[in-house]
Structure 1
């Protein structure tokens, strides 16, 4: 059933508007605001209410549905949770205005749209393109690959926990709560980001990825985003940042790398299901 859910998720994400209707965070964000007021100075209790409590509810619901109709009643629950756990927004759509400005060679417009649409700032053109490349890789990873990895490995509970921690780290106004959520998210990122880096090596330049990330592969302190960017740029053999069309092409090459990695993951998961 898990593989069927993963196929349905692709359909929902690419060919329907269901994702936007499912990913409604309003009620949860209201709860976040209330918990921050009631649990000031107690970030772990706040996380228990914001993350653990929804997981307990979901786990209880799945325990009830799993024995019924050979588990098929649990399928729509799996699908809804997995779609909700995907990242917010459309990476390619968000990159569109930047790509247009960069292709024209309009540096000021590129800086403006990067800050407005992507939340990125840079002191130079080369640094800006590097940051945008990192944004593309990271958004694809945290919005899709991390969620798919944990669902394939452990089911729907961990992907939901991952998304709720990400939302907490992003929207919490209390620094200690955001910090604790970020620490837990870092723990959940450690394994899947390394699996994705290994996938980049298999579908891209293996030797270059090995040189770029092998010495940091087991490092706990290294940020997941930095490891991912190092692996992605090495796998695609990207040159130094360039203005105009070559810079836009580098974003296309990274996206094609991500597509190949996604195909590899789905194929590997299908083989795993057949061998079980």
Structure 2
């Protein structure tokens, strides 16, 4: 059923607006702000995460235990699908890059810097640095929005996928530094394996030798963040040159996107083989 859910999730992502209707974080975020500002829990970040991440995961697991034996698991299928769709990243990654791409193609660095700050929350001191940060943003967002979610869903099911997204929301939106730090630590642990699997995928669908040189030093490095690793590996795998203004700079974003698409196809092929093998 996992592979079917992943196929349906991609189809829904491309051809329907269900994702926008499902991904409503406001109720959960209100509870996060309420709990972390509570006098009883303000200095107990682990309790906040237990209430807002562990408890929903446990409730989801209990619901699936009830539903999966019924009707050959068909009643659990919609729950799996809704959880995966909710756990995917927020926003339209390619659509969000559109205004930046237009400004960069016109070589209007001031407009590019403005839309990068407005749409991507990226600031830079120079045009070349700005494009480099946007390239890293594309790689990181694609990883955390899609690859990490489908990895944990396929490996451990919807409970793991939901836990990953709730930890990401807590790390990104928490106003309590202790809660954000603990959520970031747990998310770092969640990211360790899938980001390295994605790096290996980049080696297979991109520049194998260049990726191997990077991974030789970073494979077991616990301290490097997932964002840093996926950026370093992605740029060398896609053979991205030094950032330049104009249309040639935009081509680097297209090459990164093509690399990501090839990696996604490889993952789905691997999932399919794993599903059909006895």
1:212 positional shift: 2.2
| Equivalent pair of 1:209/1:234 in contact (CA under 8 Å) | yes
Aligned equivalent of 1:213, options 206, 215, 226: 215
Q: How many residues align?
A: 276
Instruction: Please give the residue correspondences for 1:109-148 in structure 2 after superposition, counting only pairs within 5 Å.
Output: 109-148=111-150
Structure 1: any 5+ residue segments left out of the alignment? none
Q: TM-score, normalised by structure 1?
A: 0.99
Query: d(CA) in 1 for partners of 2:213 and 2:109?
Result: 33
Query: d(CA) in 2 for partners of 1:70 and 1:162?
Result: 27
Instruction: Please give the residue correspondences for 1:124-273 in structure 2 after superposition, counting only pairs within 5 Å.
Output: 124-273=126-275
1:4 corresponding residue in structure 2: 4
| Equivalent pair of 1:213/1:230 in contact (CA under 8 Å) | no
Aligned equivalent of 2:51, options 33, 49, 52: 49
Structure 2: any 5+ residue segments left out of the alignment? none
2:75 corresponding residue in structure 1: 73
Instruction: Please give the residue correspondences for 1:21-36 in structure 2 after superposition, counting only pairs within 5 Å.
Output: 21-36=21-36
Deviations 1:197-242 (A, max 9, x none): 0000000110011112321111000011111011111111111111
1:90 corresponding residue in structure 2: 92
Deviations 1:237-256 (A, max 9, x none): 11111110111000000000
Query: d(CA) in 2 for partners of 1:256 and 1:218?
Result: 27
Give RMSD over aligned pairs: 0.7
Q: TM-score, normalised by structure 2?
A: 0.98
| Equivalent pair of 1:19/1:84 in contact (CA under 8 Å) | yes
